[in-house]
A and B are shown apart, each in its own frame.
Chain A
Amino acid sequence: MEYFLDEEQKTIKSLARRIAEERIMPVRAELDEKEEFPWEIMKELAGADMFRVFIPEEYEGLGARCLDLCLVVEELSRACGGIAICYAATALGCLPVVHHGSEEQKQKYLPDVAAGKRLTAFALTESTAGSDAGNMRTTASPEKGYYVLNGTKQFITNGGEAEIYTVIAMTDPAKGSRGASAFVVEKGTPGFSFGKKEKKMGIRSSATRELIFRDCRVPEENLIGKEGQGFIITVRTLDRSRPGVAAQAVGIAQGALEAAVNYARQRIQFGHPISSLQAVQHMLANMAIELEAARAMVYAVARTIDSGARNFAEEAAMAKVFAADMAMKVTTDAVQIFGGVGYMCDYPIEKMMRDAKITQIYEGTNQVLRNEIALQVLKRKALRE
């Protein structure tokens, strides 16, 4: 389908595809198996200016358009959803600074991120605070020009590998969600350490670690926005990042569909390629239909955001939910078309299915996002009455 990308977007898409095919495809299986962080690929992406894509031009970036980022994430995910998320998590980690940070914070951090010199991470989740983010226990107590952080963040993508962390902590636990604040915490700050690296089902080349804060003193100029704005910053950040997760899902599914088509044309059973069987053809058709629908939705939401719209939370959530469910279904069907060999680790297809699963879980489970969407749908009707 013609999505009317402009020249710059076509350039971004084709270069991202080249990196994915020439640099990522040859190493994806090994990095997945060894659970090894893709530093070499991150360097390639930095050299190719890919980290500039999500940074505004004033800070050495290329414009920070949501659709541009989605194109990169989609193309990288087509080769490897795990490597793609190491890149996309850096976009997520610096979103709070891009949209809510002070001029000083932007000047200090964004040019390094744009150059790919420092990765970032976003730290919200805790063992008691997943979908129920308000139940977080990490605190930040003001103390003479500093905030003292205590607590443990869990399942943080890029944890340990990133240099810059945006951390949400309670500055006033009594106020509940209005008592949370957002901070920039740099790796190496005394009192800030990392816990165990998680072993995962999919996206295994990405790093997922605990962040541990023990009387970690963070200078007060590292507060993003104002005290008490932590939750609204979180909500707005995730609204903006969800199209990226949706793009990851679209990319993974695209990779799976292409692999399934190739395999179906090659695999001979009963004297014919299995692609001549209507049962297989209809599976491929359904995969292609849902994939294209998801892509159209993701691009439409990304363009809505890029137009400067203010209300896109619901549509961003819809795109994420739809694309993630689609990716899970498409990759599952792709494994089915591969049959026995699809279940074996020698082929990339089982990895795609493992990688797809996370897109239904992180940045808001598909269930909690459905709650949000339903609330909006019902509220609109109620307001009309």
Chain B
Amino acid sequence: MNVVVCIKQVPETPRIEIDPQTGALIKAEGKMIINPFDMYALEEGIRLKERYEGKVTAITMGAPEAEEALREAIALGVDEAILLSDPVFDGSDTLATSYILAKALQKLGQPDIVICGRQTMDGDTGQVAPQIAEWLGIPFVSYVSKIEEIKEGRMTVQRMIDEGHQVIEMPLPGVINVVKEINVPRLPSLRGLMQSKKVQIATWTAQDLDVDMSKVGMAGSPTHVTMVFFPERVKQGGLLQGSPESQVEQLVEKLQKII
């Protein structure tokens, strides 16, 4: 079983500064952490390795500092970690990011299962995982809350939907994203932490991945942020007056207007 978990390093605090022109993140206060949803993806990847044997690899695209997130993944029990980092990747939107990740997955030799968190805490789009599957031309199941069984090249998963759970069987290789209901992420181990401080993390650049330069960075990103703003909070509360009966009448009238 060959599992790859895609993770992202995000700012821990929501206190961030955004460039009003480009809508890009300028800087974030405080420390950087692994995107919380990705912790569930890492845990599930490590559990799959423990259950079916094999190897679990973590990959991330980001600045050289994102190496810290990969060291944390190693401390948790991931076997190998690869950083995808190149100045030409700067400004990549979810499409370009998923293209770069897909190229890395191909270079790794098509893993059996690719696991992502359901969405990131900063971008919040949830688009990267399904796009990876599209680039690779393999199936994708979202919001996985349980991996029931993997047998003869097929994986049975439970998927969270508003009405309850769907049970889906998917052929492998495939991509899933997971919800926080899937597991309780473990804490790192001492051996893992000590190893994570020593281990060499491989960095793959655009050249290593043999990417089409028109598909990465700003050039490969059709998404354009037109405006970033904080929604204005308007207080619209009002107090109804009069007898209870007349208040009810007024309320019904107001509700009817809205509907």
Mark A residues whose CB is within 8 Å of B: 7-8, 11-12, 15, 18-19, 22-23, 44, 47-50, 52-53, 62
Q: Closest 6 CB pairs between A and B?
A: A49-B190, A49-B189, A49-B191, A48-B189, A11-B193, A48-B187
Interface residues of chain B, those whose CB is within 8 Å of chain A, are: 186-194, 197
Known pairs A47-B187, A48-B188 / 6 extra A-B pairs, C-beta < 8 Å: A15-B187, A15-B188, A44-B187, A48-B187, A49-B192, A52-B191
Most A C-beta atoms less than 10 A away, residue of B189, B190, B191: B190
Contacts of B193 in A (CB 8 A): 11, 15
Chain B residues positioned under 8 Å from A50 (CB to CB): 190
Chain A: minimal CB distance from B43 (Å):
11
From B193, which residue of chain A is reached at the shortest CB distance? A11
* Residues from chain B with Cβ under 8 Å of A8 in the complex: 194
30 intermolecular pairs with C-beta atoms under 8 Å apart = A7-B197, A8-B194, A11-B190, A11-B193, A12-B190, A15-B187, A15-B188, A15-B190, A15-B193, A18-B187, A19-B187, A22-B187, A23-B187, A44-B186, A44-B187, A47-B186, A47-B187, A47-B189, A48-B188, A48-B189, A48-B190, A49-B189, A49-B190, A49-B191, A49-B192, A50-B190, A52-B190, A52-B191, A53-B190, A62-B191
Report A-chain residues with C-beta under 8 Å of the C-beta of B197: 7
Q: Please indicate the chain B residues that have their CB under 8 angstroms from the CB of A52 in the complex.
A: 190-191
Q: Which residue of B lies closest to A11 (CB)?
A: B193
Measured CA separation A22–B187 after assembly (Å):
9
| Shortest Cβ gap from B36 to chain A (Å) | 13
Which residue of chain B is the closest to A49 with respect to CB atoms? B190
Residues of B within 8 A of A48 (CB): 187-190
The minimal Cβ–Cβ distance linking A57 to chain B, given in whole angstroms, is: 11
A223 to chain B, nearest CB (A): 33
Nearest chain B CB to A226 CB, angstrom units: 35
Q: Which residues of B contact A22 (CB under 8 A)?
A: 187
Are B190 and A62 in contact, with the CB atoms below 8 A? yes
- In the bound assembly, the distance between CA atoms of A8 and B194 in angstroms comes to 7
Question: A117 CB to closest chain B CB, in angstroms?
Answer: 15
Residue of B nearest to A72 (CB): B190
CA distance A358 to B187 in the complex (A): 30
Query: Which A residues touch B189, using CB under 8 A?
Result: 47-49
Complex: A154 Cα to B132 Cα, angstroms? 62
Least CB separation from B77: chain A residue: A47
Chain B residue nearest in CB terms to A7:
B197
Q: How far is the CB of B72 from chain A (nearest CB, A)?
A: 12
> What is the minimal beta-carbon distance from A355 to any residue of chain B, in angstroms?
24
- Please measure, in the bound complex, the distance between the C-alpha atom of A47 and the C-alpha atom of B193, giving whole angstroms: 12
Shortest beta-carbon distance from A12 to chain B in Å:
6
Report the minimal beta-carbon distance from A360 to chain B, rounded to whole angstroms.
31
Query: Which residues does chain A contribute within 8 Å of B191, judged by CB atoms?
Result: 49, 52, 62
> Complex formed: what's the CA distance from A110 to B189 in Å?
19
Q: How far is the CB of B147 from chain A (nearest CB, A)?
A: 20
Which of chain B's residues have a CB closer than 8 A to the CB of A15? 187-188, 190, 193
